[in-house]
Amino acid sequence: MEINWIGLWTMVRREIQRLARVPIQAVVAPLISALLFIFIFGFVVGGRIKNFGHFSYLEFVLPGVVMMNVVSASFLQATSQIYFQRFQKSIEEILVSPLSYVEMIGGTVSIVILRSVFTALGILVIGTIFGAVHLQSLPEFLFWVVFVSMIFGFLGIIVALWAKTFEQLNVLMVFFIQPLSMVGGVFNTIGMLPPWLRWLAYGNPLFYFINGLRHSMIGFTEGPATFGAAFTVVLAAVLGAIVWRLYAIGWGLRE
């Protein structure tokens, strides 16, 4: 099947132009949030934690901070893009165009990935200022950023198609994603949890994402890395297939 590359690029170009109208929300806010996390948890609190294996506490925390921001940026990008287009009805511009469903989804997810990679690299730059950046494997780092942003991009699309109000856009983020991020090993090792709580970490998808990214940066892992990567790819594929199906039947898109 012939791919409409110009159409795909137009979707990306258009969204970049939209984001350029809200630079504080799109670019500055996640970087300031990361800066504060790094400063307080890594520098101020972490400065008093001396015994953390071969790494400083800041080096341990930084991958978690990157992952939290990647998750947040990708989810918010997808929900705001799709929901606002639905709200303004400008989504109809896409629906009447000769774009396949895969291209429509691909255009949305491409900008999600771009924004997440940009956010992740921005945080690395801030981390470098604090002397806390180690990058053991750049391809592995990019694998985690790209696949996790795809997962939360797909979830964001599903929520944006389902939502009838702005309030509903936040439900998944507030009640699931943020709590799971916090207990997914951003600030502590799983070994620091009481044994009866560890099952919660191993059953938490966010743990595998954070653990994987941490491995790509400082080489430290607390879980089965291959299982984590395979789980992430399968989850992205399953969510991608669900989104494709929703586009094909027009759920939340076409009347």
Q: For binding to another protein (CB under 8 A), which residues are involved? A: 4-7, 9-11, 13-14, 17-18, 21, 85, 88-90, 92-100, 249-250, 254-255
Q: Which is nearer to another protein, 91 or 120 (CB)?
A: 91
Residue 102: half-sphere exposure toward Cβ, Cα within 13 Å: 7
| Least distance in angstroms from the C-beta of 64 to another protein | 35
Helix (H), strand (E), coil (C) string for the chain:
CCCCHHHHHHHHHHHHHHHHCCHHHHHHHHHHHHHHHHHHHHHHHHHHCCCCCCCCHHHHHHHHHHHHHHHHHHHHHHHHHHHHHHHHCCHHHHHCCCCCHHHHHHHHHHHHHHHHHHHHHHHHHHHHHCCCCCCCCHHHHHHHHHHHHHHHHHHHHHHHHHCCCHHHHCHHHHHHHHHHHHCCCCCCCHHHCCHHHHHHHHCCHHHHHHHHHHHHHHCCCCCCHHHHHHHHHHHHHHHHHHHHHHHHHCCCCCC
Q: Which is nearer to another protein, 87 or 199 (CB)?
A: 87
Q: Which is nearer to another protein, 245 or 254 (CB)?
A: 254
Nearest-angstrom CA–CA distance, 113 and 130: 26
| Least distance in angstroms from the C-beta of 108 to another protein | 13
| Least distance in angstroms from the C-beta of 102 to another protein | 11
| Least distance in angstroms from the C-beta of 76 to another protein | 18
Q: Which is nearer to another protein, 120 or 243 (CB)?
A: 243
Q: Which is nearer to another protein, 85 or 181 (CB)?
A: 85
Q: What's the Cα-to-Cα distance from 108 to each of 59, 71, 122, 127, 151, rounded to whole Å?
A: 33, 16, 21, 29, 12
Q: Which is nearer to another protein, 57 or 247 (CB)?
A: 247
| Least distance in angstroms from the C-beta of 85 to another protein | 8
| Least distance in angstroms from the C-beta of 7 to another protein | 5
| Least distance in angstroms from the C-beta of 119 to another protein | 23
Q: Which is nearer to another protein, 98 or 194 (CB)?
A: 98
